[in-house]
Amino acid sequence: MQVTCLDTEHLNMENMLEEIALLLQEQEERTADRQRTLTENLYQQLEALASITSLLPLRMPLPPMRGWAISPDFGIILINEILKHKPRLVLELGSGVSTLLAAYCLEKTGSGKLVSFDHDLNYSEQTRERITDHGLDRIAEIIHAPLTKVTLDQGEWDWYETARMDQNLKIDLLVIDGPPGQIQKISRYPALPVLHKYLADEVVILLDDAARVDEKTTLDMWIQEFPEFEHEYRSAEKGASILRRKR
């Protein structure tokens, strides 16, 4: 039987329509998967926020979470570590809503001090005002620590000015949420090399944004340089990593 050009064109059109239908189906499935993921994450954040408000005796509303600030699920990780280990000194790099949560936790445990470094003057003053509004002045100290050059074995970074740090400090919980990643590559790497000598024997280190490429690189470098630490990853909204000394 002879196949005409018209028949060939008809077959090609049918094949094209089938391919378009398959592409549209795949797109719909991807969109549905993304929507499910977004919905599940939103539920997890709302669930974590509800847990925060039930665990802590908040006297004022919390500032907005997520975005630049920590997400509620990271907040729950922070709260759990403080309530479980009852640290005497919490050092925080990057202030904000996490400062309030940590201070409330220390108030709840009945002991402990929080020191928070922030390179941004306006933001550190804003956090200081919020600490006052929440009545947590006696627990939390916000220090404006401008970024200065620090030279380490791996290179040079802009990092918090720490000249005023008490040489006898022993940090029980180190919370790393700064400096911001857009300042430089692997912006948070200096935290462990610079502060290592101040860490208590049973220190816990929390790193926010651990799902980002730079933070993954930073963790790989830390584990290689400080093999006494073991790493636990938590699948929070932005990723969270916990470092503890091996037993």
> Per-residue pLDDT tens for 35-58?
766 668 778 889 989 999 999 999
Q: Are residues 16 and 36 in the same domain?
A: yes
Q: Look at residue 3 and tell me whether its pLDDT is greater than 70.
A: no
How many domains, in total, are found in the chain?
2
pTM: 0.84
Split at pLDDT 50, 70, 90, the class of 206 is very high
Averaged pLDDT score across all residues of the chain:
89
Q: What is the domain extent for residue 42?
A: 1-55
Q: Find tokens 């005796």 and name the residue.
A: 57
Q: Are residues 118 and 186 in the same domain?
A: yes
| Weakest-pLDDT range from 8-17, 117-126, 145-154, 202-211 | 8-17
> Residue 9 has which token pair?
């064109």
Strands 155-160 and 229-234: unpaired
pLDDT at position 4 is 57
β-bridge partners, 208: 240
Q: Are residues 120 and 20 in the same domain?
A: no
Residues constituting the chain:
247
Q: Are residues 89 and 202 in the same domain?
A: yes
